[in-house]
Amino acid sequence: MAINLRTQKKLYPYILLIPTLVLLICIVVYPLIYSLNLSFHSFDLKKFTLGRQFVGFQNYLDVFKDIQFLKALRVTILFMLIAIPIEFIAGLSIAMLLNKDVRGSKIVRTLVVIPMMVTPIIVGLQWRFLFNYDMGLINQVLRLLHISQGVNIVGNYKYAIFGVALADAWQWTPFVILLCYSGLRSLPVEPFEAVTIDGATSWQTFKYLTLPLLKPIIIITILLRTMDAFRIYDMIYTLTFGGPGASTETASMFVYRVSFKLFQMGYGAALSYVLLIITIIIANLFVNSLKKVWEG
């Protein structure tokens, strides 16, 4: 009886995990296996009566021949190259100002995170109204100041990607601020006191002390923002619908279009896994950089 009781105590934690494991299998593991299997088939949902035809790696080979996908990938990379530096520079600058503990900084720290709490769809709609050529606030201010008669930001293929990047920066700069502020608050005080006594300027302190000490936080921040920006979809969809033309159609939006508008489910699954592999490669590069920082 004692052995049975001891066995029951050992098994009890695993029994409690069973519902969670079943749920994970249903919503994570099974869809991954199903979509991976689907990526090796040609399956047009418009012709579902024909069933699926096994094509091996043909879908994956077609991905790298798809000019539209490569263009969407370039748009995604361009968006990341514009948005992430803006978010990082603005976020780190504001975090350093908040770290000075001046009067009102506590209120500012509370207010600054509000954009991050807004859902991306609402952010897209909000900036769509702000960018409106006829009635948008931005163009109204430009006309009031006699700077310009108005700029069709999201309606011009030259400017649309910058408008999308600005909207994303407005929402996610607070995230960078939080991470950088947390990193600044965790830095040791003694090195800063020492360089102050030695007569170092603010710029020298920032360049040779603050930045090196913050390097792990910086790598983690850029990694998280890169992975999130790489799969952006909802905010751009409500802001520009991927237009004008395909000038703001990201890779995620292209996968959606192929899968749920053109109904090429097999090819869409292959595209999804290609994006997943690219994301894993990017993550590994950042993680290796982080390891070198810690080991160095």
**Contacts for 12 with CB less than 8 Å, ≥ 6 apart:** none
Average pLDDT over residues 66-91: 94
Mean pLDDT of the chain: 88
pLDDT at 3 over 70: no
Q: What is the pLDDT of residue 295?
A: 66
Of 14-18, 99-103, 203-207, 237-241, the poorest mean pLDDT is in 99-103
Average pLDDT over residues 134-162: 86
Residue 296 has pLDDT above 80, yes or no: no
Average of pLDDT values for 186-200? Answer: 84
Arithmetic mean of pLDDT, 50-58: 88
Q: Which residue has the higher pLDDT, 296 or 39?
A: 39
pLDDT at position 212: 87
pLDDT of residue 1: 45
Domains, the chain, ordered by start: 59-121+161-295 (1.10.3720.10)
Q: Which residue has the higher pLDDT, 236 or 5?
A: 236
* pLDDT at 216 > cutoff 60: yes
pTM: 0.87
Q: For the segment 87-101, what is each residue's pLDDT rounded down to a tens digit? A: 999 999 999 988 887
pLDDT tens per residue, range 248-267: 999 999 999 999 999 999 99
Percent of the chain with pLDDT over 70: 97
pLDDT of residue 207: 86
Tokens 């099974």 correspond to 30
